[in-house]
Amino acid sequence: MLILEEEGDRMLLDRQVLILQSIVENFINTNQPVGSKHISKNINFSSATIRNEMSKLEKEGFIMKTHTSSGRIPSEKGYRYYVDYIKTEYTLTSDDNEKLQKVLENNVETEGNFLEKNAIVLSDLTDCTAVILAPTKTDKRINKIEVILLSSRSILVILITNTGEVYQQNYKLAADFTSEDIEEVNKLLKVYFYDVEMAEAHIVIQKELEKYLRDKVENYDMIIVALNRLLQNKIKKTVALGGKYNLLKQPDINDLDKLKEVVTLLEDDKIVDLININSSESETSIKIGTELSLGNINELSLISSKYNTNKGEGIIAVFGPKRMNYKKVMTLISCVKDNLNNNLK
């Protein structure tokens, strides 16, 4: 049964929803444009009615025509409507259940091993790349970060948390810095790093600090590197990766330069940053195509969901083509979340 909801002031008619659903699901399964004849095999409307409604959906940006076929494929707007407003459920197959249960057959040896097993199963069942970030306590916050100039090419970085922990590290620099430079750095650190979650600090560096230091301090990037290194050493997350190269097997990206960018994205630190930046405050986040802000790569989507254990909060994420089977992936993520919630103590 379909439940229809409003998208702003616009609600698609029942038959338009059925046609959009048919186009999205057929394209997900076949990677081929979908024509009115194919849709009429599954929906009890005439070809003329289907063509007329397809024309309306195309004008409103839900579907689009390709250059090589008379059929239609979903647009980003169409995928978004499908994900947000067409409430269908995926039913686990016997193969899904068997593989999910197999993860639990042996006793959990280590946290990392258990996370890796779940990530591999998730990637296997979705044909996408699965990433699981180990649970970490999210209540640790930064009260202060300060940089002290020891010499023109040497600094000490000090970090103090809300629980009174103090971390410090010396760094050698490849260029000269003045006391005025460091004073400028500390002014910005005082503004941006009071009462900030340690797990979110690198995002603040990337989105805020780097932008302002660029105009105020020469060779600012060396300071950024030092700050990032200190933070990474203290909050580095365990990353379990499954199906690392599954994305490269998909036919959706056939541009060599884009494929190289995708491979680079799958490096541990970059995939963690991508997941953290695109995870929302809500439990589950779905970013489709350009919503991921990956420059000229707009063929990918990311579904991420938070899970909680006694050890803290972690994230399960699936990174795949824009035409991924969203309903299946969300259901499988929910199953893996249950595995982790119930078995990571």
Q: Cite the beta strand spans of 117-213 per DSSP E.
A: 129-136, 141-151, 154-161, 166-172, 196-197
- β-bridge partners, 145: 159
Token pair in block for residue 304 = 């991420």
Please state the pTM of the whole predicted model: 0.72
- Bridge-based pairing state of the strands 166-172 and 196-197: unpaired
Q: What's the first-to-final CA gap in the chain, in angstroms?
A: 39
Query: Tell me, what's the pLDDT at 248?
Result: 83
Query: Tell me, what's the pLDDT at 289?
Result: 93
Q: Which of 99, 143, 91, 146 shows the shortest CA–CA distance to 119?
A: 99
Query: Tell me, what's the pLDDT at 6?
Result: 45
Q: Which residues, at least 6 apart from 76, have a Cβ–Cβ distance to it below 8 Å?
A: 288, 289, 290, 291, 298, 322
Q: Which of 55, 57, 27, 26 shows the shortest CA–CA distance to 42?
A: 26
Helices 76-85, 14-30: axis angle to 10 degrees equals 110
User: Whole-angstrom Cα distance, residue 190 to residue 267?
Assistant: 31
Homologous superfamily assigned to 94-137+238-343:
GAF domain (3.30.450.40)
Query: Tell me, what's the pLDDT at 344?
Result: 80
Query: Tell me, what's the pLDDT at 3?
Result: 40
Q: Give pLDDT < 50 ranges for the chain.
A: 1-9
Domain ranges of the chain: 14-85, 94-137+238-343, 141-235
- Specify whether domain 14-85 bears CATH 1.20.1280.50: no
Indicate the Cα dihedral angle 5, 11, 12, 13, nearest 10°: 90
- Specify whether domain 141-235 bears CATH 3.30.390.60: yes
